[in-house]
A and B are shown apart, each in its own frame.
Chain A
């Protein structure tokens, strides 16, 4: 079945450091890929998405490129801020019309000043 494997945390970085959170997937067909973020005390929010191979999703300085050849969708940011501290979830959706999201386990990111 469909599955998402993402880098386990927690991850702790200093402010302005480079961030990579790895995400790989297993799915039939051509899934859409997503990164969701959950800030402390808040609900799950869509951070970015990509719907086909080689697409790059970007938002708030974060980027992720849909790599079909490596079945990956790694999240990157060049310079993290304290406000980026949150839990990040990689997710996929397969068949259009069967809309459920399959999530990774989440990666807790803490940025220290």
Chain B
């Protein structure tokens, strides 16, 4: 597609339920990132996928959070047993990783606003 797309745009869930957030990166982009934007924490990195390499999960806040990327394209971020502090906007970004830093711009999707009641 023309840009990074995310779905749903808004998600309201009850505490304790599981949620899945989807990201479709720009076609041909080998790298995919998840970030979280919340009032208390600002914009924080969650997880990074690059090609077939093992993902960098260093930003995931707890083991309730997981993500996968199927076929090197679409990614799903799963939050199990949601808590109120998980309420935030979840942003996905993608980029081409090449030999030159000029190719490394991250393009962001519109985000999914998650509200945990």
Known: A43-B108, A43-B109. A103 touches B42 (CB 8 A): yes
For chain B, residues 11 to 68, give those with C-beta under 8 angstroms from any C-beta of chain A: 31, 33, 35, 42-45, 48, 50, 56, 59
Min Cβ gap B83→A in Å is 23
Contact A99 B91 (CB under 8 A): no
B85 neighbours in A (Cβ, 8 Å): none
**Total A-B residue contacts, Cβ distance less than 8 Å:** 55
Contact A43 B45 (CB under 8 A): no
For chain B, residues 73 to 117, give those with C-beta under 8 angstroms from any C-beta of chain A: 91, 93, 95, 97, 101-102, 104-111
List the interface of chain B (C-beta within 8 A of A): 4, 31, 33, 35, 42-45, 48, 50, 56, 59, 91, 93, 95, 97, 101-102, 104-111
20 A-B residue pairs with CB within 8 Å: A32-B101, A43-B109, A43-B110, A43-B111, A44-B91, A46-B107, A49-B105, A51-B102, A89-B43, A96-B104, A97-B97, A98-B56, A99-B31, A99-B48, A99-B50, A99-B95, A99-B106, A101-B106, A103-B42, A106-B42
